[in-house]
Structure 1
């Protein structure tokens, strides 16, 4: 497939890294979808631009064609739901507003069980953190609007067993 593509579409070969996060040499006022492919012809990425800035959906795939990430952008900043998969299994979902974490962020273990949930205020500050083991809630932490620790709740078999007011109990 590469021989059928214009040279400007093959420029990614010169800047390709193991991690797919790199810059494309886009014209500064580019508008529309920008796509790249692996040499095999498999889709590598699709991104949307408005006046040279990411705006809309950005999707990346691995060399086997398995989706790795989907992110939403507005004016070059993360805005909306971002999802990452690892080896085809969902690894996390995070919500952003104007480039800052906002609302619920969830991550999963490779076996698909819930790992943690984080709740963020619109300013990007964490409000609550929940940790899970084998998909069961074991720990909740609460924070004030300035990211100061308020309290921790420990759970066993789904029941609250202890509340701690110190972040690092003695």
Structure 2
């Protein structure tokens, strides 16, 4: 996230690691100050977080952006003009961006992906039942139950926990 005091504007943007320094210097030459950088594992995750932040803030009424002429280095579509008038400050934007980042990272975690795949397999088994393939559906559901039980074992405590002592 960058800020331009003279323009009373904030900017959210995605940049690849290879071009980050060049891009941030180009903004700095135009008076923008970098206030926050959030790292992501993939460019897709970073883009999803950027879209989430921009979409959320635009839906909340922060719809003014800088005109293109104010950003000769590019990136005007990710700006918030008159940020001070809509009480949009760097701390608020940072909190929103960090929350979006956490959501995006968790949504791409192995456990989340496994859960989505597990639910999709359950839906496919229900479709098999609807289509009259009950024996095949039963076999797939049995496999799903076994996988679910195995996942619960992996997520559970490694050793049995002792009951708390009573006083």
* Band of TM-score, shorter chain: under 0.3
Highest CA radius of gyration, 1 or 2?
2
Q: Where is the strand percentage greater, Structure 1 or Structure 2?
A: 1
TM-score, normalising length: structure 1: 0.25
Q: TM-score, normalised by structure 2?
A: 0.25
Greater RCO (CA < 8 Å, at least 6 residues apart): 2
Q: Which has the higher helix share?
A: 2
